[in-house]
Amino acid sequence: MSEALSIPEAAALLLEQKRILILTHERPDGDAIGSSFGMREFLRESCGCEVDVVLPTPPPTRYLELIGDYKTTLTPEEVAGYNLILLLDCANRERIACGPAVDPVLLPELSGTPMLNVDHHGGNNVNARWNLVVPRAAAASQLAAQIAIATELQIPKRAATLWLLGIVTDTGAFRFSNTLGNTLRVTADLLDNGADLERVVNAAYYSKPLNQQHFETELLETQEKLAFDGRYIYAYIPDELFAKHNFDMRDGEGVIDLLREVAGTKVVALYYRKGDSFKVSLRSKDQRYPVGPLARSLGGGGHEMAAGITLREMDHNQVEALLLEKVAALLGDREQD
């Protein structure tokens, strides 16, 4: 049985728990980090709960000083020791980051521990015991903050700072179209509760290591390609480029924005090999050309303006050709309107 909750209902549910396990999606970004660790701080400091966050792989280095300790391994037996699994910012069970010892699809069933799913992706199909999915929310961190506000308990400065991190990164510092009036009202509440905007901005935008800057420069010089009169810009990242600059895509949040910032472009794509598959990131900067449906048509997901796909049994030339075909249809269909 799956039940949709309101924000006050989610707040009441969390206040009833004593031991909570927080999980998020694989390759966590600023919102995954912010929503998860912000909620941990709030539940620990303001609610007196025992709370753990699990990250089986290292988070982006730029956020390390903000998050503190976390668990790196998890077994079904350990999950069973918690009263509730709180899943944040994850649109489907396959992407839950819980480590190789636990099947994310069967996580609640294996452990017997119920799950509360809090997310802002329109295509969310987790179907947890309880679900709070609000696609109009700019970030999962916004929803986490609204839950905390609904409890009427004090929001610790550390929690406010982490939730601000999630909102700032998922809105592109309030540049993206997901920035609504309520986004700014929640942000104001976080600032009133002591959120450290300077620390957030420095971590998210002014902490780039030199090797990443060199990596990005060579990526643009050697791999950037234009199609459809510059309305589509894309880049393939070869393994050799990662190796040359000792760069890992866990620190790659924002790299795709280098493509999106070019004048005249409507849709951008960035892709690279990961094991036996290709990871594809898609962005749109024009609401007439949403990339969400394109991603879902290929088994991916995400938001209408920011989405991702995993493609298997292809080489990078086939990935390039497939994306060109799909983007041509997207731009061509709309151009005829």
Domains annotated on the chain, with CATH: 3-205 (3.90.1640.10), 210-335 (3.10.310.30)
The secondary element (H helix, E strand) that includes residue 267 is strand 267-274
Per-residue pLDDT band at 255 (split at 50, 70, 90): very high
- The encoded tokens of residue 220 equal 């643009």
Name the pLDDT band for 333 (thresholds 50, 70, 90): low
| Res. 107 pLDDT band, cuts 50 70 90 | confident
Q: Which residues pair with 119 in a beta bridge?
A: 133
DSSP, collapsed to helix, strand or coil, labels residue 78 as helix
* CA proximity to 70, closest of 151, 162, 181: 162
Region 51-63: mean pLDDT is: 94
Mean per-residue pLDDT over the chain, rounded? 94
Query: How far apart are the C-alpha atoms of 224 and 230, rounded to whole Å?
Result: 11
- Tell me the backbone φ, ψ of residue 239, rounded to 5 degrees: -55, -35
What is the arithmetic mean of pLDDT over 245-255? 94
Grade residue 123 by pLDDT with cuts at 50, 70 and 90: confident
For 231, the token pair is 């309305």
With bands split at pLDDT 50, 70 and 90, how would you rate the model's confidence at 198?
very high
Q: What is the pLDDT of residue 337?
A: 40
Q: What is the pTM of this model?
A: 0.91
For residue 335, the model assigns a pLDDT of: 46
Per-residue pLDDT at 105 exceeds 90: no
Q: Please, are residues 153 and 122 in contact by the beta-carbon 8 Å criterion? A: no
Q: How confident is the model at residue 1 (pLDDT cuts 50, 70, 90)?
A: confident
| Cα–Cα distance, 175 to 227 (Å, whole number) | 25
Would you state the pLDDT for residue 336?
41
Residues in the chain: 337
Strand extents, DSSP E, 136-240:
224-227, 232-237
pLDDT value of position 85 = 96
Query: Which residue has better confidence, 123 or 88?
Result: 88
Confidence check: pLDDT of 334 > 80: no
Counting residues of the chain whose pLDDT is more than 70, the rounded percentage is 99
Per DSSP bridges, beta strands 306-312 and 277-284 are antiparallel
Residue 328 is which amino acid?
Answer: A
pLDDT band at 301 (very low <50, low <70, confident <90, very high): confident
- Which residues, 6+ apart, have CB-to-CB distance to 212 below 8 Å? 245, 247, 251
The arithmetic mean of pLDDT across residues 168-179, rounded, is: 95
Q: Residue 325 — φ and ψ, nearest 5°?
A: -65, -45
The set of residues, in sequence order, having a beta carbon less than 8 Å from that of 75 and lying 6+ positions away, is: 101, 102
Mean pLDDT along residues 184-188: 98
The H or E element that residue 293 is part of is helix 292-297
**Can you give the pLDDT at residue 76?**
87
In whole angstroms, give the CA distance from residue 164 to residue 38.
Answer: 9
Tokens describing residue 130: 């309880």
Predicted local confidence at residue 106, as pLDDT: 85
